Every structure is written in structure tokens, then in C-alpha cells.
Structure 1
Amino acid sequence: MLKLIGAVLILFAGTMIGFQQAARFAARPRQIRQLIQALQRLETEIGYGYTPLPEALARSSAHLPEPVSSLLREVKNRLDEADGLTFRECWECSVAAHWPGTAMKAAEQGALIRLGSALGISDRDDQIKHLKLAMGQLKAEEETARDDQARYEKMWKSLGVLIAALVVILIV
């Protein structure tokens, strides 16, 4: 009886690990899409609303889901509390602090870091160009993430169950 309960727990744990990995593959394209929407909102606020950057960040974050909204809020909060920090430093610190909570990879982080070094230091038209460049890079990464999702999501679900079943067979 004890072996049966142990086998069921191992199967359950392996299955959940597989499903958790599959969920990360499913979350990455969704989060990249949300990040693109955030940059589109920033572009609109800066380009058409003539909104200052801290206020544009606050307005954009109000309409976005997590984890993207918390990233933008964090940048705005750091700017408000900035003790001599530049926008780039506030942006990089916020991205670094919030990145582990996302399913995105280093390529998306690199695009955001590059964008942060261009925002806030140039005129409105140049900032819009940099936002569009970052959105283009993120769209390419979104396509890659969708391909990875299609390729690996089912594999991880199956792999979790199969490895757990192998462990149960080896133990019993």
C-alpha cells in the first residue's frame, strides 16, 4: 500500500514538472506580445500625447497585465525616487529585478536594455524610432517563441509523465 501511494506521488510530481515546463513555453509568446503592446502604448503616449516619459510609463502600466505592468511601474517609481540615477540606470535595474519572474529569455531582455539606453535622452521622433525598432525585434522573438511552443510544449507534457513512470518502474 505504501509503495502504491509513493508511486502515485512520483507520477503526480513528474507530471506536474512536465506541465510546468510546458506552461513556460506557452507563457513566453504571450508575455512578448504584452511587452509589444506596452511599447505601442508608450509610442502613442510619447508620439501623439506629448506625454513626459514618467507619466507615459504610469499610464501605459495601468492598462497592461502582469508582469509587464509591474516592470513599467517599477521604472516609474525608480524615476520618482531617482537619487541622481539616469533613466537608463532606472530602466536596467527594473528589468533586471523583474526578469526572473517572466518566461522570456535573454534575447528579449537585450532588446529592452538597448531600448532603455535610447529612451529619455533624445527628441520625441528619435524615441519613437527606437520604440519601433524594439517592437520589430520583439516581434521576431515572438515568432521564435511560437515555434518553440509548438515544438516543445507537448514534448514536455509527455516527458514529465514518461520520466515519472520510468522512475516508478525502476523503484518497484
Structure 2
Amino acid sequence: MKLLGAIFILLATTSIGFEYAKRLSERPRQLRQLRVAIQSLEAEMMYGLTPLAEASRHIAEQLPKPLSLFFMSFSERLSHYEQTAFDAWKESVDETWQRTSLLDSEREIMLQFGTTLGQHDRDQQQKQIKLTLAHLEREELEAKDRQTRYERMIKSLGFLSGLLIVVLML
């Protein structure tokens, strides 16, 4: 019976370590997807002259979850509710952010971008997009650095903490 309990403890702590490491590796991937999505939004708005709601829907169809949920929510809020672009953007961020592996710093970047969305002429809007992309690129580099430094350690820490608990219980 003790052996079965020890195995369960070891499996649980190891899976916690692997889950946290997965979240750490998801962050750079989601940041890269977010950058691509904003670049696509720029192309749709600047060169395709596509309305914001339709452009967001196109982007949502191209992205995997959870970022597709954000752009779909934004598109629906613009289409079905009479909201400003910023209100729809902010509510979509608030609604879907918990499903992502992104941090509060990226959330602030997205909210800052949302305040400028649809408020300026094309040139100024393009400058804001470039600024947002630069911020997201910086965050992506930092996320990759954290992933390479901590991912293996967190996996090992999950297993070793379970091993420590098992040893202390025996």
C-alpha cells in the first residue's frame, strides 16, 4: 500500500513539473503566433482595406486555439454589439487571456495596442503596429531565454520533489 501511494505521489509531482514546463514552452510559441496575427491584421487593414471585424475573423480562422478564440471574440463583439474597437478589444482580452500561457506584460502590450486600434490614420496605425510587434518580439526573446534556462530544471524539480516527499514519508 505504501508503494502504491509513493508511486501516486511521484507521478503527481512529476506531472505537475511537466505541466508547468509545457506552459513555459507554450509562451514563446503563442507570442510568435500573436506576432504573426498582428502582422496579418496589419496586411488586412492596410493593403486589403478589410473592415476590422472581418479581418479579425479571417485571422481567427488561421490561428490555433487559444489565440483564435481571442480574435473570434473580438470579431463577434465588433459585428454583433455596438462597441468601440477598444472596448471590444479589452473585453476580448479579459475574456480569453486566462486560457493562454502569456504573462501580464504581454497583456499590457495588447491593451496598449487596443487603445490605438481604429483611432488613427493608416500611417499612424501602421507605426503603432510596428511598435507593438517590436514589444512582442522582445517578449518572445525573453520567453525563449526563460524556456531554455528553466524547462529542464522544472521537469527535474517536479520529479525530485516527489522523490523527496516519498523518502520523507517512508
TM-score category (smaller protein): over 0.9
Cα deviation code 1:32-89 (max 9, x no counterpart): 0000000010011011101111111111111111111110110011112224x21101
* Counterpart code for 2:97: W
Aligned to 1:64: 63
* Counterpart code for 1:75: F
Aligned to 1:99: 97
Contact 1:111/1:134 (8 A) holds in 2: yes
Aligned residue for 2:62, secondary structure, equals coil
The runs of 5 or more residues in structure 1 that have no matched partner are: none
CA RMSD of aligned residues (A): 0.9
Structure 1 runs of 4+ with >4 Å offset: none
Contact 1:58/1:73 (8 A) holds in 2: yes
Aligned to 2:150: 152
Farther off after superposition, 29-38 or 44-53: 44-53
State whether structure 2 residue 103 is matched by structure 1 residue 134.
no
Cα deviation code 1:102-124 (max 9, x no counterpart): 11101111110000000112222
Aligned to 1:109: 107
Q: What is the CA-CA distance between 1:140 and the residue it aligns to?
A: 0.2
* TM-score normalized by the length of structure 1: 0.96
* TM-score normalized by the length of structure 2: 0.97
Q: What is the CA-CA distance between 1:145 and the residue it aligns to?
A: 0.1
1:81-100 correspondence runs (5 A): 81-83=80-82, 85-100=83-98
State whether structure 2 residue 37 is matched by structure 1 residue 38.
yes
* Counterpart code for 1:166: L
In 1, Cα distance between the equivalents of 2:106 and 2:63?
Answer: 18
Query: Aligned pairs, how many?
Result: 170
In 1, Cα distance between the equivalents of 2:121 and 2:158?
Answer: 51
- Percent identical: 43
Contact 1:46/1:128 (8 A) holds in 2: no
In 2, Cα distance between the equivalents of 1:93 and 1:62?
Answer: 20
Aligned residue for 1:50, secondary structure, equals coil
